[in-house]
Structure 1
């Protein structure tokens, strides 16, 4: 009797195990995605963030969830990355939201707008201040789900073939500049050009454009801009802390197991921190090399900064009057920026300002 009971009990246990095993297997399915980047492989910092995500996702899922990364142009052109995700050509892309202001200027606010936030402020708003939820509600219109995957930190003001001494020097200047910043500069006479990173050098070299901005010293040195334009301006007031994003096809995102959604979200957050850290380490060294090689550093004159600031606020008012999505996003950003600067004025800025002056003493 006991033997029969034992066999019966064991049988139940075996049956339960037989049922449970497929359930466990189903919770970790094999998923293979393709990701198209808006960046060339030569830019290990910004392109490398997508590879970081893919590596982290694979390691956290024992290679069950694999993301194959393609550089700009291998599947679609750099500025068509989001379209490829929307229409399902690929499951995912790594890009900058402001590349798509032609669809709707609201895209710009998720990444960076002129005189917006610095990197930490942008991250705080997106992660903790309701920014990501606000934009994912907007992205639904384009069958996209967005996750921040990088931040370059404050950028440089770009390379120019001639000096910018007054606002008048901007008149008729042909400049490669991404996103909504081009519309701000257009108010001051600049002719903006939106060109992918890999195409900027030949355009500068041939004189097709008079100036170009990209990111900062490390990437700019890699792209060789110092060889074709001598004047390097700062700061990049249009990108005080630009967020880079992963866009995921909304249907594919919703179909992912919750565990994989969590894995991908955390991989993107990790890549965000790594990207900023890489730039913070590499930019100072690259800047020294550029200056040693003859690059002429120039600050934008206060007159130019003031004119650009006023033009930006005029543009926000004009767009907000006819685009409720943009109005909601820009007002939320400005409120968060101004609130955060209360803290920065007291602590962060005061500390940094002292240390910048004090570093020469040791």
Structure 2
């Protein structure tokens, strides 16, 4: 057999074998429900980037299509949808779901708690990852850290907060432990999805609202209807963002696809913090130029919040074993 004949034979063999090889590779298509509006290119944009990266690594064999909050399910029902299996995965801030277990606060962030570097250390070099995996398994969910928003602002207010007494009767959009603690100080916490906050603040249904920080708050338009912008956002030392996957969907994945998800999640965990650090300063300057008044919470307010936070932790620990351990 001459060289030309041999090469022709090899080419034909490869052509015939390629479809068979392709057929042996699984194709997985998931949907991801997020808790974010499309306008937030830091949070929702990170979910898009996570899904896109998984598609790239898998060469299109593992595709996840993200959806803004409200398109598949209401934003605050994302956890339930993933837990029940109506969607395969979600992109959330777990502190919004502490009604399921207060111990979820250790994932999203606790008042006066760990900053982003400390949270990452606890997760990867401490026992955090294993503890949280065991907790989420109780809800038929597998959790993945997919981002962190870092230190947050204290929200926009229609009136100044000069004393603890100014919190009495204050209707504020805030979820998680921050809401519980502010309630101890006389405020009236309300949990709203991001897309509903502006209208409530504009109509006066609420008096104040917190979300994340300048980059997001500017896009949500809070500065147009509330003048005073406070710092710090003491209710979360940092806001860790979680990708949740239905346990049955996760266990059905080939091992290589699980690794792809983990790698893409770790990548976004790093990139999200960088995006916020890059975008927050310019957003803050623009809002100040539009008339936003920066304020720091008075020392008396911070001290009262700190005291109420640790009282709350003790109360919850006495009633909930997961939080206690």
- Scaled to the shorter chain, the TM-score interval is over 0.9
Equivalence for 1:65: 62
Which SS does the other structure have where 2:101 is aligned?
coil
Measured after TM superposition, the shift of residue 100 of structure 1 is: 0.8
Which SS does the other structure have where 2:138 is aligned?
helix
1:287-326 superposed matches below 5 A:
287-326=284-323
Higher gyration radius (CA)? 1
Equivalence for 1:141: 138
Do the aligned residues in 2 keep the contact of 1:49 with 1:272 (CA within 8 Å)? no
Equivalence for 1:97: 94
Residue 176 of structure 1, aligned match among 150, 153, 173: 173
1:1-362 superposed matches below 5 A:
26=24, 28-328=25-325
- Where does the alignment leave 5 or more consecutive residues of structure 1 unmatched? 1-13, 329-362
Measured after TM superposition, the shift of residue 145 of structure 1 is: 0.3
- Where does the alignment leave 5 or more consecutive residues of structure 2 unmatched? 1-12
Which SS does the other structure have where 2:206 is aligned?
coil
Measured after TM superposition, the shift of residue 255 of structure 1 is: 1.4
- CA RMSD for the aligned pairs? 1.6
Give the TM-score normalised by structure 1: 0.83
Measured after TM superposition, the shift of residue 25 of structure 1 is: 5.3
Do the aligned residues in 2 keep the contact of 1:159 with 1:230 (CA within 8 Å)? yes
Count of aligned positions? 311
Measured after TM superposition, the shift of residue 240 of structure 1 is: 2.0
Which SS does the other structure have where 2:244 is aligned?
strand
Measured after TM superposition, the shift of residue 141 of structure 1 is: 1.1
Give the TM-score normalised by structure 2: 0.93
Q: 1:28-63, CA deviations, whole angstroms, 9 ceiling, x for partnerless residues?
A: 310000000000000000111111111110000110
Structure 1 runs of 4+ aligned residues shifted over 3 Å read 20-26
Equivalence for 1:355: none
Measured after TM superposition, the shift of residue 127 of structure 1 is: 2.5
Distance in 2 separating the partners of 1:198 and 1:144: 26
Do the aligned residues in 2 keep the contact of 1:182 with 1:192 (CA within 8 Å)? yes
Measured after TM superposition, the shift of residue 117 of structure 1 is: 0.8
